[in-house]
A = this chain, B = another copy of it.
Amino acid sequence: MAELSGKQLQILDFLRSFIGDKDYPPSIRDIQEGCAISSTSVVDYNLRKLEEKGLIRRDREVSRGIEILGSRGRRPRVVEIPVLGSIAAGQPIPVPSSERWANDTEDTVVVTDDMIKGRANVFALRVKGTSMIDDLIDDGDIVFLEPCQAAQDGDKVAVWLKDRGEVTLKRFYREGGRVRLQPANSTMKPIYTTADNVEIQGRFISSFRPSA
């Protein structure tokens, strides 16, 4: 019972490629044609079998109401995250409001939502430089950030230095009336500045290192 017939495998493959191509499921007649099956009822029969075996889910009476279930019967929830730019690149970074961002984002990455712990409005930046190397963040890494206004001492945050007109990723410490932005790199010195010169853009959530 656990085994799939050749026709069922063929249908499953067709489902995957069709959805991968068009982003919506095929109709039964699409499957019929795509798999060279003579009758719609044969397709229906095999779809029922696939549903019995837990590989797909069907909504009755609904056109194209087919859903491929993931490896575990679950569908991974994915989030598209805009890569807004490079950090410490000399340009202010537009913080995405809670609104939908405009389509002017250069690039995006897609990750499962557990990679960002289901947080909302997460955005990403490319890291330039090795100022956070001791926190295991390298040049070229992509960091995921959560928008926030305030920060606690020791948080890794992206801050906009108004006087320099640039954004940088550092650990954040409040010291009296001043702010210390501490790189995680023993060869670099912290930046001291006033509280009203910094604008916190986001707090570090997670990071990704692309292949070299």
Task: Mark A residues whose CB is within 8 Å of B.
Answer: 9, 20, 22-25, 27, 54-55, 59, 63-68, 70-73, 75-78, 80, 82, 100-101, 103, 105-112, 114-117, 133, 136-138, 205-211
Please determine whether A207 and B206 come into contact, CB atoms closer than 8 angstroms.
no
- A108-B207 in contact (CB<8A): no
**CB contact between A208 and one of B20, B110, B208 (< 8 Å): that residue:** B208
Complex formed: what's the CA distance from A211 to B68 in Å? 29
Instruction: Please tell me which one of the listed residues B24, B55, B76 contacts residue A108 in the complex, with CB atoms under 8 A apart.
Output: B76
- Stoichiometry, as copies per complex, reads 2
Interchain CB contact (< 8 A) of A70 among B63, B71, B76, B80: B80
List chain B residues, Cβ under 8 A from A106: 72
C-alpha spacing A111/B138, complex, angstroms: 20
CA distance A101 to B72 in the complex (A): 11
Q: Is the CB of B72 within 8 A of A76?
A: no
In the complex, chain B residues whose CB is within 8 Å of the CB of A210 = 114-115, 117, 206
- Contact between A73 and B109, CB atoms less than 8 A apart: no
Contact of A101 among B67, B71, B115 (CB under 8 A): B71
Closest chain B CB from A75 CB (angstroms)? 6
14 A-B residue pairings within 8 Å (CB atoms): A22-B59, A24-B66, A24-B67, A63-B64, A76-B109, A78-B110, A110-B110, A111-B111, A115-B210, A116-B211, A206-B208, A206-B210, A208-B208, A209-B209
Residues of B within 8 A of A103 (CB): 54-55, 71-73
Task: Assess whether A24 is in contact with B25, with CB atoms less than 8 Å apart.
Answer: yes
Interface centre among A27, A71, A105 (most CB of B within 10 A): A71
Give bound CA distance, A125 to B208, whole Å.
14
Q: List, in ascending order, chain B residues with CB within 8 A of A23's CB.
A: 25, 67-68, 75
- In the bound complex, how far is the Cα of B80 from the Cα of A63, in angstroms? 26
Closest 8 CB pairs of A and B: A23-B67, A63-B63, A136-B136, A205-B211, A206-B211, A208-B208, A110-B112, A207-B209
Nearest CB in chain B: distance from A146 CB, A: 9
